[in-house]
Amino acid sequence: MTLLSNTNSTRPVAAGLPGSKAIFISAQQDKPAPTAQVVGRKCGFCAWGQCAVASDREASAPREIACTQFTRRRVEKHGSLAREGEKLSYLYSLRFGQMKVIGAEHDLHHVTGFRMPGDLIGLESLATGRHRFRLLALEDSEVCEIPVAALKDAVAQHPGFQKIMLSAFSGALDEAYNRASILSMRSLERRFAAFLLWLSKKYACIGYSSSSFRLLMTRADIGSYLATSIESISRLIARFNVDGATRIRGRTVDILDRPYLEALACGDGKLGDGIPPVLAMR
Amino acid sequence: MTLLSNTNSTRPVAAGLPGSKAIFISAQQDKPAPTAQVVGRKCGFCAWGQCAVASDREASAPREIACTQFTRRRVEKHGSLAREGEKLSYLYSLRFGQMKVIGAEHDLHHVTGFRMPGDLIGLESLATGRHRFRLLALEDSEVCEIPVAALKDAVAQHPGFQKIMLSAFSGALDEAYNRASILSMRSLERRFAAFLLWLSKKYACIGYSSSSFRLLMTRADIGSYLATSIESISRLIARFNVDGATRIRGRTVDILDRPYLEALACGDGKLGDGIPPVLAMR
DNA sequence: CGGTTGGTTGAATGATCTCAACTTGTGTGG
DNA sequence: CCACACAAGTTGAGATCATTCAACCAACCG
């Protein structure tokens, strides 16, 4: 009941289409025919609700929780979903689109992470109640707004949600450790290889091809994320291309020699499994 | 009740002394008179219990939860508390001593973090049920073993614990982000400055001097943590010393020019507040 | 007392950064 | 639809920073 308090499922900005497939396609208009298509997936938090019911077998669990219960919000390309320091009223489940996470830690504009469809956004700010990072859309995106207060109530009342929160936090921790792991690689070559493989897995997770995709972020974003310069990224791409490991032209990426990249990124490319937090517990 | 099921508070290895002050002193025998002494602090999880009671005002909250309810375990210097892949039966609350966290991600022996007294250990492994990292004691240490199963029950039954778990996870996330933040600094100088300040804050948190302390880890550990070589650390120390920023001789550290280090570590040294997870919610 | 580990220092090499010029791509308005 | 302007990306050359290999020192321990 607490979760259902927010019943106005449509707002001026939200006006979401009923079928998520159509939305997906329309939003990625600048993407040249991804190999795999995402078909009507539910958003992350819906998966949560379902999982809670399934894993808990508790009759009182809120079976009615569905994506449509939450307000959706559109963020257009280059728009911001949240700014650092803002009050955290919602967690966000990214329905489609991609976002970059900007930290103001030492650079004032440091890319701390990227968020893909299915990711839950804002966990790291839950304790303080204020957004720790700025969130910018890399393309037109849509999120579900999950009211924090209602979420807390739900967790308190339905034990099934605790496992889910655990899983979500664990996923967030994983993500943070993975970044640290990437950054701790000495050579740029390895960091970049690890980054490409990570991206690849993320795409695979949401049903796209893992070997052909588009970079929605700029070289500057990548450089910031990997703690290096734009030029180095550019050179690295050139090198990978002539080595036959990849074919990267502009923002189009084809991974040609995955084993080569994995060897670079070290051994088995042990960077977690790249499963989005909210889906990991299926 | 669930939490109290583990009532045998002494085991062969545990045999803890009743007063924690005495324990502290005896354990840091190779430490030359730290400026500040820690007096009879409760261990992290005790703080948890108290907080649960205080914040929740719920009569049924387990007020009786005290540190003595949990088995204590000693780990001697260079001993291991857990190995990666092992089943996670307990979370550990570090009562005294320090540990290093070793990841096998790409280096097979990469220092991923350090744990100080009051820290809660093992959160990142809670979701998988297997230890993600190896834990090695940098000095003789003692932990409280917090049975995972009992902990989960407690969280389910006493809503007050949820806030605490939230805080704990949030602390763990913070720690991970901080490491990523340190690693994302371009120059070694900045990374090392940030590391020193982080250590300093950690010491301050547990009641020690923030400007004079001992490094319990080797140069190799620091190098691994900061993703650089032993020699670079050594040279950096020499440089900081001649610059008058520090006086580091062997493992003895005096921070002489904190503003200088903070300027290096960028602006205000924004690396979170270094408050140990379990105490952060006081 | 020699072996071992941890730590420092020097010199040469190599990787990455910076600065700068240039090319390509993208979006906008006429 | 084209032209233009601006953002994004590439490439080159030199300077800088960090790594590596090596020798060496110091402390510790049996």
Task: Note the pLDDT tens digit of each residue in A7-46.
Answer: 333 233 333 333 332 222 222 333 332 322 233 344 444 5
Put simply, whether B181 touches A (Cβ < 8 Å) is yes
Rounded Cα–Cα distance for residues B120 and B125 (Å): 12
Substitution target from A106, A123, A167 for chain B, most B beta carbons within 10 A = A106
**Average pLDDT of chain B?**
75
pLDDT category of residue B234 using cuts at 50, 70 and 90: very high
The strand pair at A134-137 and A99-103 is best described as antiparallel
Percent of chain B with pLDDT over 90: 49
Distance from CA of A32 to the nearest CA of B (A): 33
Please provide residue A212's backbone torsions phi and psi, each rounded to the nearest 5 degrees: -135, 120
Report the distance from CA of residue B246 to the C1' of nucleotide D16 in Å, as an integer.
24
pLDDT of residue B69: 63
Percent of chain B with pLDDT over 70: 69
Answer yes or no: is B183 CB < 7 A from strand C. no
The winner for highest mean pLDDT among B120-124, B149-153, B216-220 is B216-220
pLDDT of residue A129: 92
pLDDT of residue A214: 95
pLDDT category of residue A162 using cuts at 50, 70 and 90: confident
- Written as one string, the DSSP assignment of A102-142 is EE-SSSSSEEEEEE-TT-EE-GGGTTTTB--SEEEESSSEE
Average pLDDT over residues A215-222: 96
The winner for highest mean pLDDT among A144-153, B12-21, B43-52, B137-146 is B137-146
Q: Torsion angle of alpha carbons B190, B193, B198, B202, nearest 10°? A: 170
Average pLDDT over residues A138-150: 89
The winner for highest mean pLDDT among A54-58, A233-237, B101-105 is A233-237
pLDDT of residue B262: 93
Lowest average pLDDT, out of B42-51, B129-138, B140-149, goes to B42-51
Task: Note the pLDDT tens digit of each residue in A187-198.
Answer: 999 999 999 999
Put simply, whether A109 touches B (Cβ < 8 Å) is no
pLDDT of residue B40: 34
CA-closest candidate to residue A75, choices A6, A159, A16, A4? A16
In the block, tokens 């994302």 appear at B184
Distance from CA of B15 to the nearest CA of A (A): 33
Rounded Cα–Cα distance for residues B1 and B157 (Å): 10
Rounded Cα–Cα distance for residues A48 and A118 (Å): 11
Sign of CA dihedral A275, A280, B2, B6: negative
- Written as one string, the DSSP assignment of B58-121 is -TTS-TT--GGGS-EEEE-TT-EEE-TTSB--EEEEEEES-EEEEE-SSSSSEEEEEE-TT-EE
pLDDT of residue A254: 96
Residues of chain B found within 8 Å of residue A152, distances taken between Cβ atoms: 162
Rounded Cα–Cα distance for residues A279 and A205 (Å): 9
Average pLDDT over residues A99-106: 86
The winner for highest mean pLDDT among A121-125, B28-32, B253-257 is B253-257
Residues of chain B found within 8 Å of residue A112, distances taken between Cβ atoms: 177, 180
Whether B156 sits inside 8 A of A162 (CB atoms) is yes
Lowest average pLDDT, out of A5-9, A134-138, A236-240, goes to A5-9
**Average pLDDT of chain A?**
75
Q: Is a pLDDT exceeding 60 seen at residue B26?
A: no
pLDDT of residue A235: 97
Which is higher by pLDDT, B275 or A80? A80
| Closest Cα in chain A to B272 | A105
Task: Note the pLDDT tens digit of each residue in A199-209.
Answer: 999 999 888 99
Rounded Cα–Cα distance for residues A160 and A54 (Å): 9
pLDDT of residue A71: 81
pLDDT of residue A202: 94
Residues of chain B found within 8 Å of residue A173, distances taken between Cβ atoms: 123-124, 169, 172-173, 176
Name residue B231's amino acid.
E
pLDDT of residue B269: 38
pLDDT of residue B233: 97
